[in-house]
């Protein structure tokens, strides 16, 4: 899947220990997709990451752009054990 990273997302790759391959995997094969509660253009894609003990990675994308734009991503502690 084609995508672009926002400046914020690019900075996260440098600051957090989350490989881009995990972000891409979640983007392409999410276990769950949720609409954003505030912005209709945003979509949350979630997937467990086996390499991190199945912690849930949340990737937030702007689905109205072509290609989709990755806005941010993080391990979602509130989703622990739910996927």
For residue 32 the two structure tokens come to 């769950």
Q: Output the average pLDDT for the chain.
A: 95
Region 7-35 average pLDDT: 95
pLDDT over 90 at 82, yes or no:
no
Q: Are 42 and 63 in contact (CB under 8 A)?
A: yes
pLDDT over 90 at 83, yes or no:
no
Q: Is 70 exposed, middle or buried (0-12, 13-18, 19+ CB in 10 A)?
A: buried
Measure the CA angle with vertex 61, ends 56 and 63; round to 5°. 135
Q: Is 53 exposed, middle or buried (0-12, 13-18, 19+ CB in 10 A)?
A: exposed
């Amino acid at each position: 899947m084609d995508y672009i990273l926002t400046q914020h997302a690019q900075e996260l790759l440098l600051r957090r220990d989350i490989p881009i391959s995990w972000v891409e995997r979640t983007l392409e094969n999410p276990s769950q997709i949720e609409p954003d509660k505030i912005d209709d253009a945003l979509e949350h894609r979630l997937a467990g990451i086996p390499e991190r003990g199945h912690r849930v990675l949340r990737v937030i994308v702007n689905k109205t752009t072509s290609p989709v734009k990755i806005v941010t991503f993080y391990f979602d502690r509130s989703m622990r054990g739910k996927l």
